[in-house]
Structure 1
Amino acid sequence: MSDRVLTPETLLPRDEPVRLIAPDGTAEADQHYQMPDLEHLRDAYRALVEGRRINDQASALVRQGRLAVYPSSHGQEACQVAASLVLGERDWLFPTYRDSVAVIGRGVSPADAMVLLAGDWHSGYDPTEHRVAPQATPLATQLLHAVGFAQAAKYRGEDTVVLALCGDGATSEGDFHEALNFAAVFGVPVVFFVQNNEFAISVPLSRQSAAPSLAHKAVGYGMPGQRVDGNDVAAVLSVLGDAVDRARAGEGPSLIEAHTYRMQAHTNADDDTRYRERAEVQAWIERDPLARMRAYLTAHDALDTATEDRIAADAERIAADLRAALNADTDLDPEDLFRFVTTDRTPQLDEQWQMLRDEIARGAASDAVSPTGGSR
C-alpha cells in the first residue's frame, strides 16, 4: 500500500465534474487532469463512431427479431470507449448488460458480444481470451466478482487492475456496499466506474440517493471519489486513467462517477415517454460525445473529411458483419443443455438427456407422417 495519507479532503470529489472539452469542442484547462494527446483522442473518436454504429445496428436487429433485447448505450459511448482504452493488456473488465461497446473495445467481436442478448449462450466469448468477464444482467453482482478477482490477483502478486462497471441504479444495491467496503478495507486494485445516466429504468436519481453525488459515497468507505463529464471522452480517459494508475501503484480502489444520459429507452421493452419529457432528452443532444470530439479534433487539424469518411466506412463494415452474423440461423444441439452442467455427467442428467432424445425422435417420426397416414 501507498504511504499517502487519505483525509476527507483528498477523498471528496469536486463540486463540479471534471471536464477537459466543452460541448462546443473548445478545450478547458485543468490543474490536475491532463488532456490526452491528439493521436489518442483520434483513436477514441474512431471508437466513438464505431460504438454509435454498433448501438444503432443492434437496436435495428431487435426490431427485426434477431436480438431478443438490446440495452443501448447510445449517448454514453464516451464512457464505453474510455473504459476499454484505459486498461492494459493484463487488466480485466467486468461489464454490465449495457456495456457491449466497452466489451467490443476490448477485442471481443461484435457478433460474440451479442450472443447473450440474442438469447443464446450466457456469454458468447471466452472471458480469459480478452480479459472480459461475462456481461452481468443482475444489478451490482459483477462488482463483488470484480473485487474477488482483483483480490486474487493481488495475492498472486500480479500487476492487474480490474475495472468494474455499473449504473446509478446499481449503487442502491447491497452488493455495491459490500464490494466497496471490502475493496477499501483490503486495498484491492479495482476501479468502480458508475455511469450515471440519470435513470434506473424509470426511477430517477433523485429517488435513489440523497447524497450530493454518487461519487460522494466513496468517502464513507475510505476511498477517493471523483466526478467527470461522462460525455467528454478526453476527461473520462484522464480521470479513469488516473484511477487505474493509482490502483496499479498499490494505492487501492477508487470510485468514479460519470455524468451522462441514456438517450434511448432502457431496452426495447421500455416506453420511456411514460417517465421523462422529450424536451429533457432533446437537451442532451447538444452534449453528444461524438459531436464534441469531432469539433475538438477538427479545430486542431487532427481530423479531415477524408479521415472521417474512412472511419465511417470502417464502422459501416462492422455493422454489416454484425448483421450478417445475427441473420444466420444458429445450428442448435439439444445435448448442449446437459453437456456443460458438470464435468462428468451425472446419472440423473444422463437419464434426462435420454428422455429428451427419445421425445425428439418421436416428434421427428410424427412430422414425417402426413395427417392422413401417408408419408410426406
Structure 2
Amino acid sequence: MSVKTLLPSATPVRFLAEDGSRVELHEGYAEPAEDRLKAAYRLMVLGRRFDVQATALTKQGRLAVYPSSAGQEACQVAAALTLSEQDWLFPTYRDSVALIARGLQPGEVLTLLRGDAHCGYDPAETRVAPQCTPLATQTLHAAGLAHAMQRRGEDAVALALIGDGATSEGDFHEALNFAAVFKAPAVFFVQNNRYAISVPFEKQSAAEALAYKGIGYGMRAEQVDGNDAVAVLAVLDDAVKHAREGKGPVLVEAHTYRIDAHTNADDATRYREAGEVEKWREADPLRRLETYLKGRNALSENEIELCHAEAEEFAQTVRDTLNAEPELDPLSLFDHVYAEPTRQLAAQRAALEAELEA
C-alpha cells in the first residue's frame, strides 16, 4: 500500500454543515441509506435521554460516577450500527451510549458505574468487551482478539473506541503496531473530544490531527467530523469493510467535543471557557441530523415525537432499574478468579459459605 493511500483526508470528511445543510467534503464516501440514518437518529435521541438520566442518577446517589458522552452521540451510535452481530466492540468507560445502541439493557450497562460488579453483561454473548477504565488497554485486547479471530477464519471485526488522551499511552502504540504487522481485522476509533480530563488536545500532541499517526504504523487512516452522523457512519462503514476484507486495520479520528464535564466529580469551568462550550453546542450532532432528515422529507414531526416518547419511556426503565436495590451474592467473589478454583480458593469459599450460613 502506498503512502498516499495511507494518509487521511486533508480535512475531516463531512456531509453536513452545522446547520444541517449538505456540503460536499466526502470524496470517495457514499451516503448511508436513509433507513440507517433514521435508525441512527432514533438511537441518538434515546442515547441523549439515557445520558441525561444517568447523570441525574449520580446526583441521587444511585450511581457512583457517570462519564457523560453528551455531544458525542453521533460517534457512539455509528460505532454500534456499523458492526454486525459477530463483530466485537471494545468500549471505554465513556461509551455507555454505544452499549445502549448495541442493544444492552441499562442495568447491564450501568452495573460497573454503580459499583455492583466489574461487568454487568456477558461479553461472549453480547460480543461487547467490559467497559475499560485504564486508558488504552482495550486497544491491546481488540488487536489480540482480532488477530485470533483471523487465525480461526472467523468473519469478524473488532472495533475499539478510544479517547484522545489514550493515544498518548504506550498501549495504544503497541496495539496499532501489532495490528498493522499482522493485518488484524481491527478498527481503532478515536473520539477526539479535545480534552483528556483537563488537558487540552494541543498539550497532548504536536500532530495536526491524530489520524496522521496511522502512517507511522503502515496503517490506513481517516479523519471525520464527529458531530456529523452521516459522515461518521459512512467512514466507519468503509473502515469496517476494509478490515473485514483482510486489508488490514484502520485508524479513524472523529473530531468532536465533550459538552459536559469529564465526570460528575469534575469542574470543567476550571479549564475551559463557557464560550467554547456554546460554540460546540451549535454543532450539536442530534439537531444537525434532524434538520437534514426533515429537509429531505425523510423525518416527520410525528416521527420525531414518537422517538422522544420512546426515549422518555426508556428513561423510566432506567430509573426503575437503578432505584431497585441490587441483589448481591458474596460468594460470587470467587466465580471469576480462575477457570478451575485452586485448593486455597475453594477453602476460602467454603469458609465464607459456612460463615454466611451461621
Same fold by TM-score, threshold 0.5 exceeded? Answer: yes
- How far apart are 1:355 and its partner, in Å? 5.2
What is aligned with 1:54?
A: 50
CA–CA separation in structure 2 for the residues paired with 1:177 and 1:25: 36
1:198 to 173, 194, 200: 194
**SS class of match (1:298):** helix
1:14 maps to amino acid: S
Q: For residues 31-56 of structure 1, what are the alpha-carbon distances to aligned partners after superposition, in whole Å with 9 as ceiling and x for unaligned?
A: 31112222211111001100100110
What is aligned with 2:2?
A: 7
Query: Given the superposition, is the C-alpha separation of residues 130 and 359 from structure 1 closer, same or farther in structure 2, using an over 3 Å criterion?
Result: closer
What is aligned with 1:175?
A: 171
**SS class of match (2:175):** helix
Correspondences of 1:1-376 after superposition (within 5 Å): 6-29=1-24, 30-353=26-349, 356=352
Q: Single out whichever of 143-152 and 301-310 deviates more from structure 2.
A: 301-310
CA–CA separation in structure 2 for the residues paired with 1:36 and 1:340: 42
Q: Single out whichever of 47-56 and 125-134 deviates more from structure 2.
A: 125-134
CA–CA separation in structure 1 for the residues paired with 2:208 and 2:193: 16
CA–CA separation in structure 1 for the residues paired with 2:40 and 2:334: 43
Q: For residues 25-82 of structure 1, what are the alpha-carbon distances to aligned partners after superposition, in whole Å with 9 as ceiling and x for unaligned?
A: 1112233111222221111100110010011000001111111111110000000010
- How far apart are 1:346 and its partner, in Å? 3.3
1:20 maps to amino acid: F
Q: For residues 181-236 of structure 1, what are the alpha-carbon distances to aligned partners after superposition, in whole Å with 9 as ceiling and x for unaligned?
A: 11111111101100000001011111111111100000000011111000000000
**SS class of match (1:164):** strand
CA–CA separation in structure 1 for the residues paired with 2:9 and 2:297: 32
2:203 maps to amino acid: R
Q: Single out whichever of 126-135 and 285-294 deviates more from structure 2.
A: 126-135
TM-score of the two chains, using structure 1 as the length reference: 0.92
TM-score of the two chains, using structure 2 as the length reference: 0.96
**SS class of match (2:14):** coil
The structure 1 segments of at least 4 consecutive aligned residues displaced by more than 3 Å after TM superposition are: 343-347, 350-362
Q: For residues 57-114 of structure 1, what are the alpha-carbon distances to aligned partners after superposition, in whole Å with 9 as ceiling and x for unaligned?
A: 0000111111111111000000001000011121111111111111121111121111
- How far apart are 1:338 and its partner, in Å? 2.5
CA–CA separation in structure 2 for the residues paired with 1:344 and 1:294: 52
- How far apart are 1:357 and its partner, in Å? 5.5
2:149 maps to amino acid: A
Structure 1 unaligned spans of 5+ = 1-5, 363-376
CA–CA separation in structure 1 for the residues paired with 2:155 and 2:333: 38
Q: For residues 228-266 of structure 1, what are the alpha-carbon distances to aligned partners after superposition, in whole Å with 9 as ceiling and x for unaligned?
A: 000000000001111111111111011000000000011
1:199 maps to amino acid: Y
- How far apart are 1:142 and its partner, in Å? 0.4
Q: Single out whichever of 97-106 and 284-293 deviates more from structure 2.
A: 97-106
Percent identity over the alignment is 59
CA–CA separation in structure 2 for the residues paired with 1:101 and 1:262: 13
**SS class of match (2:188):** strand
- How far apart are 1:350 and its partner, in Å? 4.1
CA–CA separation in structure 1 for the residues paired with 2:233 and 2:115: 33
Instruction: Calculate the aligned-residue CA RMSD, in Å.
Output: 1.4
2:212 maps to amino acid: H
CA–CA separation in structure 2 for the residues paired with 1:345 and 1:239: 46
Query: Given the superposition, is the C-alpha separation of residues 324 and 215 from structure 1 closer, same or farther in structure 2, using an over 3 Å criterion?
Result: same
- How far apart are 1:356 and its partner, in Å? 4.6
CA–CA separation in structure 2 for the residues paired with 1:223 and 1:285: 33
**SS class of match (1:117):** helix
